[in-house]
Amino acid sequence: MNSLDINQIKQYLPHRYPLLLVDRVLDWESGKRLTAIKNVTVNEEFFNGHFPHKPVMPGVLMIEALAQASALLAFLSIGQKPDDNAVVYFLGIDGARFKRPVEPGDQLRMEIEILRHARGIWKFHARALVDEQLAVEAELMCTMRSIAEPAAAD
């Protein structure tokens, strides 16, 4: 079984608190799939405003968590850790569907599957479950690019 703790995840993702949204990788298979978790706690910054009377995790952050898990799978599959000159960009989100609210105390179980990888473009089927109930699913596309060096000043 291949797993990663938070310190290992931070070697692959540039995100940090409060935007690092993957707490643990439970299992992954190179070039195929990854299962990860995000523990949703009442202390999350976004709950202060979304919504004070009924805290709900914003859908855009659920998609971001899936995107981060997808990027992890891509890096693990090519056997490469990103450096300061690499970044992963979203290219598209298709068929996003939100099936249930995610609240403090929930644990998102993210399941990522590579659908395609060609010419530097990755396509994933991503879904997150809470207590075996589907919370969100989407197809995500991304690419890895080098960050252009800034032009030298004269």
- The pLDDT assigned to 152 comes to 54
Spell out a b/e string for 41-71, using b for 16 or more CB atoms within 10 Å of the CB, else e: eeebeebeeeeeeebebebebbbbbbbbbbb
| Domain of residue 79, residue span | 6-146
- pLDDT over 70, % of the chain: 95
Residue 26, in any domain of the structure: yes
Residue 89, in any domain of the structure: yes
Q: How many domains does the chain have?
A: 1
Q: Is 50 a catalytic residue?
A: yes
Residue 129, in any domain of the structure: yes
Calpha distance 110→62 (Å, rounded): 10
Residue 49, in any domain of the structure: yes
Residue 133, in any domain of the structure: yes
Residue 154, in any domain of the structure: no
Instruction: Write down the catalytic residue from 15, 50, 117, 125.
Output: 50
Residue 57, in any domain of the structure: yes
Distances in Å between the Cα of 17 and the Cα atoms of 14, 20, 46, 74 are 10, 5, 12, 22
Structure-block tokens of residue 23: 């707490």
- The pLDDT assigned to 21 comes to 98
With contact defined as beta carbons under 8 Å apart, do 68 and 151 qualify? no
For 56-97, the pLDDT digits (tens) are: 999 999 999 999 999 999 999 999 888 878 888 999 999 999
Among residues 35, 34, 14, the alpha carbon closest in space to that of 84 is found at: 14
What is the band of 153 on the pLDDT scale with cuts at 50, 70, 90? low
Calpha distance 93→55 (Å, rounded): 25
Residue 153, in any domain of the structure: no
Interval 49-55 mean pLDDT: 93
Any idea which residue has 């197809």 for tokens?
Answer: 139
For 83-132, the pLDDT digits (tens) are: 878 888 999 999 999 999 999 999 999 999 999 999 999 999 999 999 99
- The average confidence (pLDDT) of the chain is 93
Q: What is the CATH number of the domain that holds 21?
A: 3.10.129.10
pTM of the model: 0.93
